[in-house]
Structure 1
Amino acid sequence: MTERIVVWHRDDLRTADNAALAAASRDGTPCPVFVADPAFYDERGLACDARIEFLFECLADLREQYRDLGSDLAILHGHSVERLRELLTPGARGSATDHTRLYVNRGVPTADGLARDETVLGWRGTEAFGEDGIVREGRSRDGWSDQCEAYFEADRHPTPDSLPTNPIPSDCTLDDLRAEYDIESAKERVPRGGRTPGLRRLDRFVDTIHEYPSAVSRPAKAEQHCSRLSAYLKFGALSIREVYQRVQSEAVDGRGREMFTSRLFWNRHYRQKLADWPEATERSINPVFRSLHRQDHDPDLVAAWREGRTGFPMVDAAMRALVETGFINFRMRSLVATFYSYVLREWWKPGADFLYSHLIDADPGINYEQWQAQAGLVGVHPIRVYNPAKQAREYDAEGEFVRRYVPELAPLPDDHLPRPEKTPLAVQQESGVEIGEDYPYPVVDYERRASEARELMARHHDRAQEALYSDAELLARASLSRRRRREASSDDEQSRSDQTSLGEF
C-alpha cells in the first residue's frame, strides 16, 4: 500500500498547477481535504455571505474536479489545527495508520493565521510548497522581479491523470455549513465561483483584452469589461501563473496586455509585502501614523460613508455598489479610502475592514497595504486626496455609474451630477429632485478638509521620514519597487495614474 498523504487545500482550490497535489500524487496516495474553520465564518473572518458563497461554489467545483479523477474532496468542519492533527493521529476517525503525511501549499497568512501555519508546518511529516512567486527566506527585495517572472514563465505542475479513492470521509456538507452559519447572500450580480466559471471568464477576457485600457478606470465599464478574475485568483480556482501564460500566449499584443500583466506582478508584489510583515492588516506601517485620527471618530459621518449618503455622488455610488455587488474597481477603492481617511478624518482600520468584509475578491495583502498607501500611512507615497467631483467628471461624465447606484439623482442633467448641491433651484424643480430632501447636502466641506489634510500630513512628513530612515527594516517594509520609485518621482499624469492601477483584474 502506498503512503497516504493528506493534501490540505486552502487558497488553492484547483487540481491544475497545484504543487502539493502534484507532489502527493508522485509520492503516494493523495487524500484531499478542506477544513471549514469557524474563524473564517464568524465575525473574525470579516467575510460577507456572498464571499462565503463564492468559496462554497469553488469547493463544489473542486469536488467535481476530484470526482472526475476518481477521488473526492473531504470537507471537514472545525479548527484547522485540531482537525488536521486528528487526521495524522493513528486510530482517529478518517486517519491512516501507515505514517500519514501532510502536504500543503504555503499561502500568505495574516498575523492571525501565522501561528496556525507555524504549528502545522512544524509537525513531522508536513511538507510545504512555496512555488508561488513569493520569497520567504532571506531578503525578498534582492532580484525579486526576476524571480517572480521566472515563476510566471516556469512550467505548470501537471494535473494527475487519475487518482485513487480518498479514504477520508467528509463530516459535513456545504448545505450544513450554510445552515450552521446562516449563509444567505443578498448581493447582486456576483460572478459564480469555481474553476469552470473562472476559465470561461478568462477565455472571454483574452478575446476582449483590447477593451481593458478604456474600461479599467471607469467604474461603470469596469464591472463588465475588466477581467473580474481577482476573486478566482484569491481563492486559487485559477493559478496566477496560468492566467499570466494564457494572456501572454493568446491575448493580442498591445496596451491592454501590458497593463494587465503589470497588475499580475502587483498582485505578487503586495502579497510579498504581507509575507514580509503580516501585521500590516492591523497596524500602520509607519509608527508615526499609528494614532492618526484614532480619537476623532464621528459615528454619524462613518454611517453616512458606509450607507452611501455623504452628499458626494461618486463616493455614495461607489459605497452602494460595494455593498450591493461586492465589487468596485480600484479607482473607486482609492476614492473611498482617501475620502474616509483624509476628508472624514477617521482612523484607517475600521474603514479598511469594512471594504475587506464586502469585497468578493478581498485579498488581505492588497486591501490593507493599498489602504495604508492611499491613506498616507507609509510615508513614501505622494499624498493624493481624490476629489469626488473631479472623479465624476473624468470617469463618469455621462453619469452612468452615479445614476445606476444613486437613482434619486437620475433626473438631474449630467452637468449637475458631480456637485448636486450647486444645482439651481429652478433646475431642481424642473427635474423633480430636491437637494436636502431627496438627496443630502455634503456632510463636510471637501475643499476645506482636503486642504487641512494636506497641511496635517505635511506637518508629519519630517517625523515620518526620520522614522523610516533610522530603521533599515522599517524602510525595507515601506519601500516602493524600483518602478514605483521612478513613477513617484515623475510629475506627468500617466505616472500618477499608474500609481493607482493595482487590482483591477
Structure 2
Amino acid sequence: MKEALNLIWFKRDLRWQDHAPLKLAIADGLPLLGLFIFEDFNSQDPSWSLRHWQAQYHSLVDMQATNKEAFNGILVLEGDSHEIFSEIAEHCVIKGIYSYQETGEDLSYQRDKKLTKLFTEKGILWKELEQNAVQRGRRNRAAWDENWRNFMSQDLDKPNLPAWQYCRPSVKSHLKSKFGISTLLQKRLKNWPTNFQKIGESAAQFRLEDYLTHKIYRNYGAHIGMPHESRSNCSRLSPFFAWGNLSIRQVYQRSIRELENSPFPRDLRAFISRLHWHSHFVQKFEMEESMEFENLNPAFDSLQKETKPALVQAWQNGQTGYPLIDACMRAVKETGYLNFRMRAVLVSFLCHQLWQNWQEGASFLAQQFLDYIPGIHYPQFQMQSGCTGINTIRIYNPVKQSLEKDPEAKFISEWLPELRELPLAFKHQPWMMTAMEQSFYNFELGRDYPHRIVDIYESGAYARDVLWAFRKSAWVRNENQKILVKHTTAIRDPQQRSKKIMQP
C-alpha cells in the first residue's frame, strides 16, 4: 500500500526557526518528507553561478550539524523538480506540499506553473505561504506598509521539530538512488572559498547577535557607503537573507528590542529601515516579473545604446583604468560581497560612463553576488541605470567617489596590488603621473595598470544631457504615473513612514 505523506519543500528558506511551512507541515501529523533540490534549470539561468549552490549546500550542512535528528527527515536531491515530484507521486499518496512562495527568476516562475499543473492533475494541495511580507497577486501598494509592520510584529513561527513523523525509509532510499547528488557535484559544492563569509543559520544567528550586542551598528550611517569600512561595520546579513538562514522578521524583532535602550538610535533606525526597503523591492519584482528582462518604464526601450563588448569585458575584468571601479569588481568577484554604494557605482559606470544597457551587466554581477536575490537585484539595477523614470538619475563620478569613500585608498590598495606602492594621490588617479614620476616609481601606465577606457567627464556629461532630456518626454512622464500608482503608498513623508515602520 502506498504511504500517505506530506512534503516540505525547502528552497530559499534554509533554517529551522521562524519557518511557517515547516511548522504547519509537522503540526499536520502525517509522515513528512523534507526535500531540497539542486535543480537542473539553474544551469540554464545566466544569473546563477556555482557559489550560489555552494551557499545553499553549506546552509544545509549547517542545518544538519545543528539538528541531526530533524535533518534525517530531509532528502537533498539533484535533478528536475517535475520529475522528482512525479516519481514521489507514483510511489506515495501526497496529501500536501508545504513551501514558501518564491519571488524568483522567470525560470523558477515557469517551473512553478508546470508544477501547479502537475499537482492539480494529481489532486495534491500545494500550500505556499507568504515570506517576508511579500504578497502575491497585489495590483497596488494600498495598505502595504501596514501589512508589512503587522507581519513583522507577529510571533515567530517555531516548528515543533521533535514531533516530526518520518516517512518510510524505503521511500527515501528509492529517491536517493535515482536522484541523489552525484559525487562530482558534491565535491564541487563542498569547496567553500576562504574569502567568502561563513554561511548557514548558526553563522547568521551569531552575526546578528554580535552586530547588535556589541553595537557594531554604531557607525552604520558613517560607514555604509565606504567600501573598506563597510565590510566590518555593516551588518553583512544579506547572504543570510538570500538563502533564508534568517527571516527579515527575526532581524526586525531583535533590532526593535535593541532599539529600546540603544545609545545609537539613529544608526539602528537606519539599519531597520533597510529591512523594510528589502521587502519593498522584492514586492516590486513580485508585481513586475518582466523586470528581469525589460525596462520597468517601457518608454526607455527607445533609448538607443550601442553594445560595445570590449568595454563590457574591461568592466567585468576590473581593467577600466579607474582604480575604484576595478577594485570593486575584483573584490566582488573574489569575495562575493560589495557594499550598496559601490554596487551602485559599478552599475552607473557601466550604464552611464560606458553607455551600455543594464542588461549587459545584470547577469554577470548576479553571478558574483553571494547575496543574490532577484527581487533586489533587478529593481536596483534598473534604478541605478536611470531607466525607471521615477528615480533620481545618479551618475556617479568614480574619482569623486574614490576620494570621498576611500580617502586613504585602503580598499584600492587591498584589491589593486599594482598600485599599492604609489603615493596616495596616484592611487586614486594614476593617469596624473608624469613620465618622470612613472620612471621613479618603476611604474608604467599601460603596462602595470591599464589606461582609462573612457573619459568620464565627457561620457558623464553626454549621459546626463541625454537622460534628463529623455525623462522630460510625455511618454516617460505618462509611464511614470502608472508606475507611481502601482508601486507607491499614500504616505509620502519619509519621516512619517519611518515612525510607522519602527512601531513594535
Match of 2:228 in 1: 220
1:167-192 deviation line (CA, Å, top 9, x unaligned): 34152555636259x55868551012
- Work out which of the residue numbers 370, 374, 383 in structure 2 matches 1:364: 374
Is the alpha carbon distance of 1:70 and 1:449 closer, same or farther for their aligned partners in structure 2, counting shifts above 3 Å?
closer
Match of 1:267 in 2: 278
Is the alpha carbon distance of 1:363 and 1:221 closer, same or farther for their aligned partners in structure 2, counting shifts above 3 Å?
same
Q: Are the equivalent residues in 2 in contact too, given 1:2–1:28 (CA < 8 A)?
A: no
Match of 2:45 in 1: 44
| DSSP-derived class of the 1:127 partner | strand
Q: Tell me the matched-pair count.
A: 476
**Which amino acid is 1:455 matched to?**
D
Distance apart, 1:466 and its partner CA = 2.6
Match of 2:206 in 1: 200
Match of 2:62 in 1: 61
Distance apart, 1:38 and its partner CA = 1.1
Question: TM-score, length-normalised on structure 1?
Answer: 0.88
Distance apart, 1:374 and its partner CA = 0.6
Q: Please say if 1:128 is aligned against 2:128.
A: yes
Q: Are the equivalent residues in 2 in contact too, given 1:7–1:104 (CA < 8 A)?
A: yes
CA RMSD of aligned residues (A): 2.5
Match of 1:287 in 2: 298
Aligned pairs for 1:15-414 within 5 A: 15-29=16-30, 30-40=32-42, 42-44=43-45, 46-65=47-66, 67-69=68-70, 71-89=72-90, 92=91, 96-97=92-93, 99-121=94-116, 123=120, 124=123, 125-162=125-162, 163-167=164-168, 168-169=171-172, 171=176, 176=183, 178=185, 188-206=194-212, 207=214, 208-250=216-258, 252=262, 253-290=264-301, 292-294=303-305, 296-414=306-424
Distance apart, 1:249 and its partner CA = 1.3
| DSSP-derived class of the 1:432 partner | coil
Match of 1:466 in 2: 475
| DSSP-derived class of the 2:64 partner | helix
Is the alpha carbon distance of 1:26 and 1:473 closer, same or farther for their aligned partners in structure 2, counting shifts above 3 Å?
farther
Match of 1:492 in 2: none
Q: Are the equivalent residues in 2 in contact too, given 1:13–1:62 (CA < 8 A)?
A: yes
Q: Which has the higher contact order (CA 8 A, sep 6+)?
A: 2
Distance apart, 1:221 and its partner CA = 1.2
Match of 1:501 in 2: none
Distance apart, 1:157 and its partner CA = 0.7
| DSSP-derived class of the 1:380 partner | coil
1:108-148 deviation line (CA, Å, top 9, x unaligned): 12322223223434533222211530122344400111110
| DSSP-derived class of the 1:219 partner | coil
Distance apart, 1:413 and its partner CA = 1.5
Q: Are the equivalent residues in 2 in contact too, given 1:342–1:449 (CA < 8 A)?
A: yes
In 2, Cα distance between equivalents of 1:231 and 1:283? 26
In 2, Cα distance between equivalents of 1:237 and 1:470? 38
Distance apart, 1:193 and its partner CA = 1.9
In 2, Cα distance between equivalents of 1:261 and 1:470? 31
In 1, Cα distance between equivalents of 2:377 and 2:50? 18
**Which amino acid is 2:144 matched to?**
W
Identity of aligned residues (%): 27
Distance apart, 1:468 and its partner CA = 4.9
Structure 2 gap ranges (5+)? 499-504
**Which amino acid is 1:130 matched to?**
E
Q: Are the equivalent residues in 1 in contact too, given 2:104–2:375 (CA < 8 A)?
A: no
**Which amino acid is 1:114 matched to?**
Y
In 1, Cα distance between equivalents of 2:372 and 2:87? 31
Question: TM-score, length-normalised on structure 2?
Answer: 0.88
Q: Are the equivalent residues in 2 in contact too, given 1:314–1:418 (CA < 8 A)?
A: yes
**Which amino acid is 1:63 matched to?**
Q
**Which amino acid is 2:69 matched to?**
D
- Work out which of the residue numbers 398, 423, 430 in structure 2 matches 1:420: 430
In 2, Cα distance between equivalents of 1:276 and 1:220? 35
